[in-house]
């Protein structure tokens, strides 16, 4: 196998820009909750509400031996007309009820004081702690006892009401004040058993979802662009390893992906236990960068389909994201081959792990339609074993997550290092070879090459010497 030796001079003339990098991370972190909130509301509106815009609970049976089932007092704000509250169409409430014995039923909503005065002469149950999954509720006995002297339909204080046989539905546009809802027999007699469904419609929910989604998306996109700008070193985008006094990465004739990783001669025995924690800032940045990667890959798909070319600027940026990912994995999760902290940059550095992909001048327009999912399927099955995570569980809710072969071998390397102080070279060579296979497939799936990845495990810190040139 070939060898790779990082250049001894660790001072690069091409540095990243830390200020926009940090600002981009903060902006994107502020945007993520807004974006997820907007997407969540949009999903709920698309899947959980009826065609008329109402979110409703399924009918559930409630019963009482008293004259009424009453809701708790609900406060909808100060009814002062001077504050303009009454002019706002904020919500609509809908209640549907059907008597269990098909008798006539009454539903009403009224100011809480009027309802309390009307029901005070009798016993009624107040419903509280209502839960839908699983369905459950609590009843609290109210009133002084006895029966009602007048039927609810004879009262004139109801803000909204519906009564009669079969299913009764009450719809009420929410107004300011304190209100109580009741369900009764239409004649006010004791013993009420109904199948009750409650629902609501918020007319401002759609604008809120759009607003949160657009604002969050703009912040995430803006933050991602700042991260890309901050992580891109000043100077020409196509500057190569020669600027660092290092030889170009060699590529094989059967794959355009070149991946190298040089293990430190001496590794700290215990540092690998916390490298995942130390690398959290990188994980945050990479989460944004991989969002950019996915978007740019979609753009590249369209460009290849139309022109047969992968736009060079997008290509270099996506290669930089792969390079950054490999450095962090080499440090913390997939090889633990160095104790040197990864740099925050998309470009080449003198770091002991590096990656590059030869730029394709032309790409097949037909292959772009099938290579990412159909042609790559055999490799994807292999990668599910090499780098996937498997979960096992039982009916009692006990679950165990087990990493793939790369994770298991990395853990084994860490344990050997912890207890013996040695990291066997064959184990390291195997891990680098496995990661090399993974990144070759990623580059193919991401439309960066038409060259089918070889089914071969090229072990070792550098590519095999059987090459035809370099990435440049």
Residue 236: predicted pLDDT:
46
Which contiguous run of DSSP H or E holds residue 325?
helix 312-328
Residue 444: strand, helix, or coil: helix
Higher pLDDT residue, 397 or 54?
A: 54
Could you tell me if 31 and 245 are in contact, meaning their C-beta atoms sit under 8 angstroms apart?
no
Residue 233: predicted pLDDT:
56
**pLDDT of 159 above 90:** yes
Q: How confident is the model at residue 399 (pLDDT cuts 50, 70, 90)?
A: low
Mean pLDDT of the chain: 84
Report d(CA 468, CA 259) in Å as an integer. 15
Q: In percent, how much of the chain has pLDDT > 70?
A: 84
Q: Which two tokens stand for residue 353?
A: 């792990």
Residue 10: strand, helix, or coil: coil
pLDDT by residue (tens digit) across 266-280? 999 999 999 999 999
A 10 A CB-CB count for 160 gives 17
All CATH 2.60.120 domain ranges of the chain, comma separated, are 55-203
Could you tell me if 140 and 126 are in contact, meaning their C-beta atoms sit under 8 angstroms apart?
yes
Residue 297: strand, helix, or coil: helix
pLDDT by residue (tens digit) across 414-449? 999 999 999 999 999 999 999 999 999 999 999 999
Higher pLDDT residue, 434 or 5?
A: 434
A 10 A CB-CB count for 111 gives 18
Question: Which class is 55-203 in CATH?
Answer: mainly beta
User: Where are the extended beta strands (E) located within 341-456?
Assistant: 353-357, 389-393, 399-403
Look at the block and give the residue holding tokens 């060259």.
451
Residue 406: closest CA among 433, 442, 376: 433
How far is CA 356 from each of CA 322, 353, 387, rounded to the nearest angstrom?
A: 8, 11, 20
**pLDDT of 387 above 70:** yes
Residue 6: predicted pLDDT:
40
Q: Which two tokens stand for residue 422?
A: 């040695």
Of 99-103, 107-111, 417-421, the one with minimum mean pLDDT is: 99-103
Report d(CA 432, CA 460) in Å as an integer. 6
Higher pLDDT residue, 335 or 397?
A: 335
**pLDDT of 469 above 60:** no
Could you tell me if 410 and 420 are in contact, meaning their C-beta atoms sit under 8 angstroms apart?
no
């Amino acid at each position: 196998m070939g060898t790779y030796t990082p250049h001894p001079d660790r001072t690069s003339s091409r540095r990243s820009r830390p200020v926009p990098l940090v600002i981009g991370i903060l902006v994107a972190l502020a945007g993520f909750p807004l974006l997820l909130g907007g997407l969540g509301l949009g999903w709920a509106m698309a899947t959980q509400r009826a065609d008329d815009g109402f979110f409703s609970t399924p009918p559930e049976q409630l019963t009482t031996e008293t004259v009424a089932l009453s809701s708790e007092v609900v406060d909808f704000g100060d009814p002062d007309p001077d504050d303009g509250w009454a002019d706002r169409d904020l919500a609509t409430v809908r209640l549907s009820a059907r008597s269990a014995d098909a008798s006539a039923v009454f539903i009403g909503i009224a100011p809480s004081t009027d309802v309390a005065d009307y029901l005070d002469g009798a016993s009624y149950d107040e419903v509280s702690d209502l839960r839908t999954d699983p369905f459950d509720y609590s009843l609290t006995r109210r009133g002084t006892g006895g029966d009602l002297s007048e039927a609810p339909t004879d009262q004139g204080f109801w803000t909204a009401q519906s009564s009669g046989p079969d299913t009764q539905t009450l719809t009420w546009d929410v107004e300011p004040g304190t209100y109580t809802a009741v369900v009764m027999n239409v004649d006010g007699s004791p013993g009420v058993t109904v199948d009750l469904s409650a629902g609501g419609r918020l007319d401002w929910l759609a604008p809120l979802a759009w607003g949160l989604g657009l604002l969050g998306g703009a912040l995430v996109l803006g933050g991602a662009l700042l991260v890309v700008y901050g992580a891109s070193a000043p100077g020409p985008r196509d500057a190569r390893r020669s600027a660092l006094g290092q030889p170009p990465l060699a590529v094989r004739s059967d794959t355009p992906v070149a991946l190298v990783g040089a293990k430190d001669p001496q590794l700290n025995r215990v540092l690998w236990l916390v490298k995942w924690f130390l690398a959290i800032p990188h994980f945050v940045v990479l989460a944004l960068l991989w969002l950019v990667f996915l978007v740019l890959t979609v753009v590249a798909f369209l460009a290849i389909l139309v022109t047969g070319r992968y736009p060079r600027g997008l290509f270099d940026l996506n290669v930089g994201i792969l390079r950054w990912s490999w450095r962090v994995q080499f440090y913390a999760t997939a090889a633990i081959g160095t104790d040197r902290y990864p740099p925050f940059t998309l470009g080449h550095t003198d770091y002991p792990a590096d990656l590059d992909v030869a730029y394709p001048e032309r790409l097949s327009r037909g292959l772009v339609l099938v290579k990412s999912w159909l042609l790559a399927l055999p490799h994807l099955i292999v990668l599910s074993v090499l780098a996937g995570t498997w979960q096992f569980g039982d009916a009692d809710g006990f679950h165990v997550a087990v990493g793939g072969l790369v994770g298991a071998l990395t853990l084994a390397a860490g344990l050997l290092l912890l207890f013996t102080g040695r990291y066997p070279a064959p184990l390291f060579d195997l891990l680098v070879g496995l990661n090399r296979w993974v990144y070759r497939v990623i580059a193919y799936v991401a439309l960066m090459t038409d060259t089918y990845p070889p089914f071969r495990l090229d072990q070792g810190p550098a590519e095999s010497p059987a090459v035809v040139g370099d990435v440049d």
